[in-house]
A and B are shown apart, each in its own frame.
Chain A
């Protein structure tokens, strides 16, 4: 079946604008994760959705960042009033049951804030 997909693959935006990044997880996967990766760095955890439970938002760096997961499937990460330091690759992953299982990653969205 299809893997995790993300859109857009690249996004260039002006400082101060809002952006929305989309993630389509693997069908049937109950857990969905968002990470951020700056150039040459590791993955920074942002947010974790597990089924109908309240999401773990502990990794969101500021209140400009928010995420939704509608109907337990598609997720949207929104960054308001983007700053240059928000430039990074945003990666989405899903897993079948969550927790610390194997995660399947999408190709990422490369965000550039000018």
Chain B
């Protein structure tokens, strides 16, 4: 069953604008991670936020986590054409343990 679901499915913006992607999940988690995927190949880890954290920054990335709403957002500031990719959130499941569960992703297109 799907644990994390990203919203929107697709997002098109201009260079320099900010991009916000959201992720909702269903069960209690230990942490939530965001990954980026270029050209349908391997994923690259962007950031991990733990369940006791509310906000985390990494360069132009800002991630928030609201465990009461079971949701997270990824903000990319001052976007660049190179940010064009698919972005996935991944959550664990406290009860199930083991592997991460990935959502279907948000496809971001940044045009110059």
User: Which residues of A approach B to under 8 Å, CB–CB?
Assistant: 4, 33, 35, 37, 39, 41-43, 45, 48, 50, 56, 58-59, 89, 91, 93, 99-100, 102-108
Contacts and interface: CB of A to CB of B under 8 A. Distances in A.
Given A42-B102, A99-B97, A103-B43, 17 more contacts: A33-B100, A39-B40, A42-B2, A42-B104, A45-B99, A45-B100, A45-B101, A48-B98, A48-B99, A50-B98, A89-B41, A100-B33, A102-B33, A102-B45, A103-B45, A105-B42, A108-B40
Nearest to B94: A100
A10 to B, nearest CB: 11
A103 B48 CA distance: 11
B102 A107 contact: no
| Interface SS of B by simple majority | loop
Interface residues of B, number: 23
Interface in B84-112: 88, 92, 97-105
21 contacts: A4-B42, A33-B100, A35-B102, A42-B2, A42-B102, A43-B102, A45-B99, A45-B101, A56-B99, A91-B42, A91-B43, A93-B43, A99-B98, A100-B31, A100-B100, A102-B33, A102-B45, A102-B48, A104-B45, A105-B44, A107-B42
B46 to A, nearest CB: 10
A33 B98 CA distance: 10
Nearest to B92: A100
A104 B100 CA distance: 12
Contact of A42 (B41, B42, B44, B105): B105
A106 B104 CA distance: 19
Interface in B1-49: 2, 30-31, 33, 35, 40-45, 48
Contact of A89 (B40, B102, B105): B40
B33 to A, nearest CB: 7
A7 B98 CA distance: 25
Nearest to A3: B42
B93 to A, nearest CB: 9
